Structure 1
Amino acid sequence: MAYPADFEKALQIGRPPTIGALFPHSKALIVSGKVIDRAMLAKGKAIALAANGRNYFVIRGVLMAAQRANAAVIIEIAKSEGGRSAYCAVNYWNMARIVDSLCNELGITVPVAIHADHYGIKNETDLAIAKVEIPSMFEAGITSIAIDASHLPDDQNLLSNLEITPFIPSWAGLETEVGEIKGKAGLSTVSEARFLIQGLNAHGIFPDWIALNNGTTHGIEASDAGIQVDLTSQIHAAIADYRVNGAQHGTSGNSSERLREIAQKTATTKANVATALQMISWGLEINDYGNAQLDTDGNFIKVAGEGMSEELWAEMVAYADAKGWKKGDYKGLNLPFENKLLAQPREIRDRMAKRVEEFAYRIMTEVFNARDTAPLAIQAIITANSHDLGAKGQRIEDPAAWTRELIIQRATCLCSDKGPTGNFDD
């Protein structure tokens, strides 16, 4: 296969050293998350699809959609999905290998970032583990990470970010988070977001993205209440001088129209899609909000002849029933059934991926405005002449005003409502 000259140049200089070491003969253009962010900025009012690859078919389908749309894309997995206590077979340590293999098999030439989403830090033990675990993840092919210490008080969130950032390669995409994703409870505020970004800035840390609790939730939505566009826009405007873009979490449960508003009215360049893609790959009926539909008895609706076989779906439902699982617990089916899904006939495997492709292609082209961002990502690499695009922002804040003691003192002046306690991991 003949490749364009710009692609070959980007392949030569644009892959991080860890990727080059893992896949020395590969034609997969696996890049830093910074590259994807810059491509969306170059197009303007564009958002990269960040697909949670809970199974092989989601990853395959999204890559096919990205190639078809000529769009730069992110494949990711969250700590709860793919960390050490994962409920998915895809994880932080094998995701890059799956993506690389599929890109070479399918002839994928669009740039792809491998993102470790929601790397949660909730206590000192998590922090200690992270210092060992995060380097291992980058050695395994991760090229971008979201440090999520939003479960902690604001001062501890900032201090945890400061403590863990030295273990992240400087070339990698970096996301930070303020406000746990809890729906309409515990909404993020301007003062909280500015506190986090200013404190990082003072220490020479310039995130590519900030994630907020802006009114949405993870998983299956019970209503169409969701993203508060005005709140998101207000927070993004308040941190504009620091050149940090938005990462939108929990898109399932939000209409296409609301997601278009996020693209048009905010500084968002990354949007996570997880539950919807899982359900689509399985062959369940969903609505425009990405929510799986229920029949009159409150059961998921399996579309005949789409997704997995009817026999395997019946087995999965029986497994969930035996465990007494609610509909939101069905994500736990990923790990025990991945090999059974892969063992189905080719025509069934192909239709699972194809169903994902069609949905992802529509989101990329009709909702996120990401069509033809792949060449912009490649151009960003060539212009930089490096895999490392550097930071968008520069230091504004005085480090002397953001010592540990002053951070703790400043945090006492923040007005915020963290909402209810509980486990809000995806």
Structure 2
Amino acid sequence: MAELRADVLVLGAGMVGVGAALHLQKRGRDVTLIDRHDTAGEGTSFGNAGLIESASVFPYMFPRDFGQILRYALNRSPQVRYSISDLPAFLPWLVRYFLASSPERAMRSAMAELPLIRRSLIEHEALIAEANVPELLRRTGWIKLFRSDATLANAAHELERARQYGVAGEVLDAKAIAAREPNLTGDFAGAVYFPAPGFVPDPGGLAKAYAALFGRKGGRFFVGDARTLEQTGGRWRVATPEGAVTAREVVVAMGPWSDQVFGPLGYSIPLSVKRGYHLHLEPRGNAVLHHPVLDTDLGYLLAPMNSGIRLTTGVEFARRDAPPSPVQIERALPRAHALFPLGAPVDAQPWMGARPCLPDMLPVIGKAPRHAGLWFDFGHQHHGLTLGPATGRLLAEMMTGETPFADPGPFAAERFG
């Protein structure tokens, strides 16, 4: 079979990879997307809360409150669970995560990511318009519910801090919660409503819509195994069933599987995962959920997806490829049924995915330090859907010699030595 040639290979067709491919294509590059699935958006991008989190200034850092840490350690927190058998595998990474979460270092991470957060919805709106899928963006914002005065007071404090960076929000009392979501039932101290973030009722479908746009503009998509990547004769080569595909440059955008490429190439980047689960359920009767709603103190979220009401869990620390253990879904189900009129499950079983995370909760974006033509774009933690197009733009600007819209320094792979 004849060798297929391109300017750039992008490995990974999730939201991050497709975002990078579109921005490179826009700048005149002949781009080929390669993924292990035959369609885009089938991995991590398929399962999330559907939020384009343009109001999320502060990353999800390791807590500093002793009581909260103790609940995590005893596996008694609804927000976080860990697998005891996998503890030796991820404990060293957790230590690095804790150290990177000091107030000073956490603020550095927040300020580094802020330009990307501010650009996130703008980039999505442009691509959604170009892909002609306006139905995949709802401007509803979202709601964080609180069941105790203490957690509500802490959230109100965090909102005031975020307002310094342009975040809009409103503290709701019980009456205001009922006005926005009349079908919710519970004893709430209050809530915080964030009006600015966009909501995507089919995250996997949005990645597919972007991939279809990429194809209409001349981009090629192949099923292939990124682990076959090799550098020969100044070009990068990946095997596919249609034959080898080569390019001068390659982008690793494989989310939690990126280590399968950078590891064999000799890079020691502390990529780990936070696993999560979701399950779709039918609404009962005429009940309608108008916003994504996070039941903060009980550690789950409900979102009104096209496939039904999506129940998503918090974080599970376990090996990426360990068998599913949907304990958090089982614990959340009765709580969710008490919050909102839910009917039968739509899915045969819960979906499981893995969020790719670095200890400082910043992605790796930029040139690999020891290989010509190798670029990284992975580790977007909880914000792959949010940041994919924005980091794709940043990477494309770096690769084509434009002035980057944000300082790329904090995202360099070299920060890990």
Point out which structure has higher relative CO (alpha carbons under 8 A, 6+ apart): 2
User: TM-score normalised by the shorter chain: which range applies?
Assistant: under 0.3
Higher helix share: 1
TM-score (norm 2): 0.25
TM-score (norm 1): 0.25
